[in-house]
Structures are given as C-alpha cells and as structure tokens.
Amino acid sequence: DVKVTQSSRYLVKRTGEKVFLECVQDMDHENMFWYRQDPGLGLRLIYFSYDVKMKEKGDIPEGYSVSREKKERFSLILESASTNQTSMYLCASSLLSGKYEQYFGPGTRLTVT
C-alpha cells in the first residue's frame, strides 16, 4: 500500500513565523503535490513537483514555497505565516500524472494566530 505521511496532524503558529510542513511518500512516485482544503472551496493546488528539485506553481502559490531535495520528500514552507493561511494542508503523490490516481496524506490542520 502506498503511504503518504505528513509531519503533523495539528499545528498552531503565530503570525510572522516561518512554518515547515513535511510530506514523505514511500512508493517511489515521481509527482508530489501540496493542496490547501477550505470549506466550500474544495482542494486548491499550491505547488507540485514532477521530479527532484523541480517544482511548478499551482493556482495559489503566493506566500508559499516548496523544496524537493529527495524523491520521497516534499516540503511546503510558509515564509511568514499569516492568519489567512489557516487551513487544512494536504500532500499527495502520484506515480506519474494524467491518468494516474493521487494518494493523499492525512492532512495538517494549521492554525495561525
């Protein structure tokens, strides 16, 4: 079974802090994704990566950056957390893209106060 793990289930940070969210997958998948999930808005893509050290912006990249130094690990960085970044963050991976399903982690619920 594919397993996608995220470093924290719940996180509380203060405005202005730098926040790191980590995601690890164990199935040698090429693609990894970061989404945020908000009620009524569904999943919105922040960034994705199709190879080590490669990244592409999604629909809402402002205020975020990512790092993929190893194939299995994809990190999301909030450079200076703001209250409007309070959300559920989901990591996903897929073998390739297109017709391949994504496998999701359990999510990190981030609260910025």
Site residues (vs another protein, CB under 8 A): 4, 33, 35, 40-45, 48, 50, 56, 58, 90, 92, 97-99, 101-102, 104-107
Residue whose CB is less far from another protein, 31 or 81:
31
CA gap 56, 49 in Å, rounded: 6
Supply the minimum distance, in Å, between the C-beta of residue 87 and another protein: 14
d(CA 38, CA 28): 29
CA 113/CA 7 separation, integer angstroms: 20
Shortest Å distance, C-beta 14 to another protein: 27
Q: Write down the residue that tokens 């405005």 correspond to.
A: 15
Q: 28 vs 51, which CB is nearer to another protein?
A: 51
State which residue, 62 or 98, has the beta carbon closest to another protein. Answer: 98
In the complex, the smallest distance separating the C-beta of residue 97 from another protein, rounded to whole angstroms, is 4
Query: Between β-strands 4-6 and 54-57, what pairing exists: parallel, antiparallel or unpaired?
Result: unpaired
Task: Please say whether the beta carbons of 31 and 48 come within 8 A.
Answer: yes
